[in-house]
A = this chain, B = another copy of it.
Amino acid sequence: MIYVIGHKNPDTDSICSAIAYSFFLNKKGMETKPARAGEINAETKIVLKKFSFDQPELLETADGKELILVDHNEKEQMIDGETKIVGVFDHHKINFSYPEQIYFHAKAVGATATLVADRFFKHNIDISKEMAGILLGAILSDTVIFKSPTTTKKDKEIASKLNEKLGLNIEELGKEIKKAGMDMDKPAESLILRDFKEFNFGSKKFGISQIEIIGVEEFLKERKGEIVEAIKKVKQEKQYDCLIFAVTDIMKEGSEIFVSGEEEVIEKIFNIKLEQNSAWINGLMSRKKQITPPLETFFKN
C-alpha cells in the first residue's frame, strides 16, 4: 500500500489533494490510500464536511512505508520516519534529493489541487460533485480566493471547470471556507497575539500585529470596543511605546488599524484620522511592506 500524503501541519490543499490524487492514481491502476501528517485545521474540517469526505488516516510515523508526497517536497515538511518515496506531486519551489529515480511533477500554480484536477481532466476521469468540491475548496484556500500573488490563470480556469459540476458562487464558497478557518470567535487579546511581532524603531519600541479576515465591517460592529480595550492592555503590559493591530480584510483589500500610543505620529505618517483608536486604510495589506518601512524611516530620522 502506498500512502499519498501532504506536509506536516496540513492545510486544506495538502489534505484535499491527497484524497483526490490517491483516487486518481487508483483509477489509473495503482493501489494507494490518502493519509495526513497531522491534525486537521478548522478550515479543512469545514471543506471535508461540506462535501461529505472523512478525514484521511493519520500516520503517526511513516517508518517503513511507501509514500507519494503531495503539496511539499522539502525534507523539513515531510512526515518523520524512514520511508520509501515513490513520487512527488507539488506546486512549491523545489529543494529535494533522493537516491533513486522517481516520479516528480511540479508546476508553478497556486495550489496542488489545480494540478490534481488537471490530471482528472486530461485523463478523462470522471470527477464526482463531492471530489470537485474539495478540489475547488483547496484551490480557493491556497490561492486566498485568487488574491495570493501565486495565483495563475490556470488556477482560475480549473476552478471554473470544477464549478461546472457544482454550480456554486465561487467567491461565496471561498469566503465561507476562509471565514471558517479564521477562527475569529477567540477573545480579542488572543487575536492580537496570534501573529505578533516586536520592532525597535530608533529609541521606540513597537508591537505590530496583523490578522486576515473576511467581513471586516460585521466583525468590527460586534467587537470594536473589545479590541480597543485589548490593544491598550497589551501595550501597557508589554511596555511598548506603541501597539498597532491591523485587521486586514482580504476581500475588501484594506485594513482597519488599531493604535495605542504615539497616536498623533501615526496619524501623520499614515495620513489618517483615528477615531476610537482606529482607522480604515484602503489598500493596506502587508505589515512587512506597508507598515514597518514608513515607521522605520520616520523614527530613524
Q: A-side interface residues toward B, CB under 8 Å? A: 91-108, 122, 150
Closest B residue by C-beta to A93: B101
Please give, as numbers and ranges, the residues of chain B lying within 8 Å of A105 by CB-CB distance.
Answer: 104-106
Complexed CA–CA distance, A159 and B169 (Å): 48
Please give, as numbers and ranges, the residues of chain B lying within 8 Å of A106 by CB-CB distance.
Answer: 101-105
Please give, as numbers and ranges, the residues of chain B lying within 8 Å of A102 by CB-CB distance.
Answer: 93-94, 106, 108
Complexed CA–CA distance, A93 and B98 (Å): 6
Complexed CA–CA distance, A122 and B118 (Å): 14
**Interface contact A103-B107, CB-CB below 8 Å:** yes
**Nearest chain B CB to A256's CB is how many angstroms away?**
32
Please give, as numbers and ranges, the residues of chain B lying within 8 Å of A93 by CB-CB distance.
Answer: 98-102
Q: Tell me the number of copies of this protein.
A: 2
Closest B residue by C-beta to A96: B94
Please give, as numbers and ranges, the residues of chain B lying within 8 Å of A95 by CB-CB distance.
Answer: 96-98
Query: Besides A92-B101, A103-B107, A103-B108, 14 other CB < 8 A contacts?
Result: A94-B96, A94-B97, A94-B98, A95-B96, A95-B97, A95-B98, A96-B97, A101-B106, A101-B108, A102-B108, A103-B106, A104-B107, A105-B106, A122-B122
Complexed CA–CA distance, A96 and B103 (Å): 14
Complexed CA–CA distance, A224 and B3 (Å): 56
Complexed CA–CA distance, A103 and B92 (Å): 10
**Nearest chain B CB to A89's CB is how many angstroms away?**
11
Complexed CA–CA distance, A82 and B108 (Å): 21
A-B residue pairs in contact (CB < 8 Å), sample of 14: A93-B100, A93-B101, A93-B102, A94-B96, A94-B104, A95-B97, A96-B96, A100-B108, A101-B108, A102-B106, A102-B108, A103-B106, A104-B106, A104-B107
Complexed CA–CA distance, A100 and B107 (Å): 11
Closest B residue by C-beta to A99: B93
Complexed CA–CA distance, A117 and B100 (Å): 23
Closest B residue by C-beta to A107: B103
**Nearest chain B CB to A262's CB is how many angstroms away?**
37
Complexed CA–CA distance, A122 and B150 (Å): 27
Please give, as numbers and ranges, the residues of chain B lying within 8 Å of A108 by CB-CB distance.
Answer: 100-103
Complexed CA–CA distance, A279 and B95 (Å): 50
